[in-house]
Structure 1
Amino acid sequence: MPAISREEVAHLAQLAHLEMSETELEKMAGELGVIVNAIKSVSEAAGDDVPATSHPLPLTNVMREDVVGQTLTQEEALQNAPDAEDGRFKVPAILEGE
């Protein structure tokens, strides 16, 4: 069981520019030790025969076919817009300029 020492936690806190009391250092050493052990047990569970994956399920090309379907007319699209101008949605400006 790899224990994380108070000194190692103090060193990490110094690198991260964190001020920690003695009580916090002791508590954090215990908590980090638990985390390291959990990671170690997960590493042991996944053997060399298990391929690395980015997703738990093999997903390939989950996109639908790009098919032209029924669309709204410009008037239908703009009918409930709070404001429109020249056939487009008009929104408040967020950048100053031209």
Structure 2
Amino acid sequence: MSEISRDEVKHLATLARLALTDAELDEFAGQIDGIIDNVSAVRSVDADGVVPMSHPHSIETTMRPDVVGHMLTPDQALDQAPAQAQQRFKVPRILNEGNE
């Protein structure tokens, strides 16, 4: 067991700006110990020969070449816009803050 101290939990709570009671400090110390123990158990697994994966399914994705293609001009992109300003789409304000 990793035995994280109550003072370490209190320090972490202070860094996170959390106000914890004494009971919560004790409870979270035990929970964090459990998390650390579980991570340590996973680290001890023999993973030699296991290929790292970024996705749980073995899928092959094809990537297209990253080449510059035909792009719309600002005028072409905005020609069907109901409203525009300064070469941008103009939309109704949804928050009561900032400028139009």
Post-superposition offset of 1:46:
5.0
* TM superposition score normalised by structure 2: 0.58
TM-score calculated relative to the size of structure 1: 0.59
Q: Report the equivalent of 1:83.
A: none
In structure 2, the residue matched to 1:54 is 54
**Unmatched runs of 5 consecutive residues or more in structure 2:** 63-79, 83-90, 94-98
Residue of structure 2 equivalent to 1:32:
32
Among the aligned pairs, what percent are the same residue? 33
How many residues in Structure 1 have an aligned counterpart in Structure 2?
A: 74
Which is greater in Rg? 1
**Which amino acid in structure 2 is aligned with residue 94 of structure 1?**
P
Deviations 1:16-40 (A, max 9, x none): 1111111110010001101111111
Q: Is 1:17 matched up with 2:21?
A: no
For structure 1, the 5+ residue unaligned runs are: 63-87
The runs of at least 4 aligned residues of structure 1 exceeding 4 Å deviation read: none
What RMSD, in angstroms, separates the aligned Cα atoms of the two structures? Answer: 2.7
1:57-80 alpha-carbon deviations (Å, 9 max, x no partner): 211138xxxxxxxxxxxxxxxxxx
